[in-house]
Amino acid sequence: MTEFLQIDFPALICGTLAALVCALVGNFLVLTRQSMFGDAVGHVVFPGIVIAYLLAGTTAIWVMLAGAGTAALVTALLVEFLRRIAGVDPSTALGAVFTAMFALGVVLLEQSGLAGTSFDVHHILYGNVEAAIWPAATGPASLFNMDTLSQLPAQIGRLMIGLGLVTATILLLFKELRIVCFDPVFAATIGLRPKLVGAVITALAALAAVVSLEAVGVILVVAMMVCPPATARLLTDDLRMQVVISAVVAIASGILGYGVAAFLPSALGFDLSLGAAGTIAVVAGLFQLAAMLAGPKRRPARVA
């Protein structure tokens, strides 16, 4: 039990929290046809996070968000410059800037000496859930000891803060988010500001990416922003129920995915290791496949 609490429990919680925070935001990305926005965010904020860490020497969430926000602003300005001044096609401008920003992050990693740390490119892409270790755990009593709980890995603390902010925002602005996602024209006629609400969705996606990126990597961030919400959308037309189902699918994917990675190979007698972030993404994809094959048929029109 002590070994489980020290090694597997924090990694399990880390992967599950990342899956949950990304899935909650992903509901509104899917509804506004921005499913791949998480991929773009992951590439764009990467150099900003690296620069913020180099300048501040800490991975505090506010430092990371400042770096990510600055990188996103620079990206927007570059895209607008290429689109309006240089006359480049919008999709081409986006592709060029996103690729250049991620490449800049890779160069900064290599030249700054951060390669091989938790900011290694491999970890940024594929995640490093297994790095979440809880050395202070000494047994089941550690789960009820505030001093021991305060020494949980920093990744979990950032994910909990991110999950709290995302959940609070969704609960506070649920009506506005629902109207804008399904009918932005009607939202504008009743005094709502679709662009402002869209900016809130973008900010939530950036927040989810920032708090999850170091722990689970870009691939899992994208998978969890798409698969659980898409699975839920195949099962219900009610947005509240969709959010609940997506959260359940995300939690199940985190638990089952980590269990497969950590315990299945040894149980079957294989001497190999599986990346937890990858298996969580695969399990989420299997849930979506099951919903596509066995779920009720979906209508083309979107109904709130």
pLDDT tens by residue, 257-302: 988 988 887 777 777 777 788 899 999 999 999 998 887 755 444 5
In contact, 59 and 131? CB cutoff 8 Å: no
Query: Is-above-0.85 flag for pTM?
Result: no
Mean pLDDT of the chain: 82
- Which residue, among 132, 274, 110, 280, has the nearest Cα to 214 in the 3D structure? 132
Q: Give φ, ψ of 213 to 5 degrees.
A: -60, -50
**Cα 140 to Cα 44, 127, 144, distances in angstroms:** 41, 28, 8
User: Tokens for 144?
Assistant: 């009820």
In the chain, domain spans:
2-216
pLDDT tens by residue, 154-181: 888 889 999 999 999 999 999 989 998 8
| pLDDT recorded at residue 115 | 58
Q: Per-residue pLDDT for the chain (304 aa), expressed as one digit of tens each?
A: 787 888 888 889 998 999 999 999 999 988 888 777 766 777 777 788 788 878 877 767 677 778 877 887 787 778 777 777 777 776 777 778 878 888 888 788 777 766 555 556 666 666 778 778 888 888 788 888 888 888 888 888 889 999 999 999 999 999 989 998 888 888 888 888 888 888 888 888 888 888 887 777 777 888 889 999 999 999 988 899 999 999 999 999 999 998 898 888 777 777 777 778 889 999 999 999 999 888 775 544 454 4
SS percent in the chain: helix, strand, coil, step 5: 80, 0, 20
CA gap 121, 290 in Å, rounded: 32
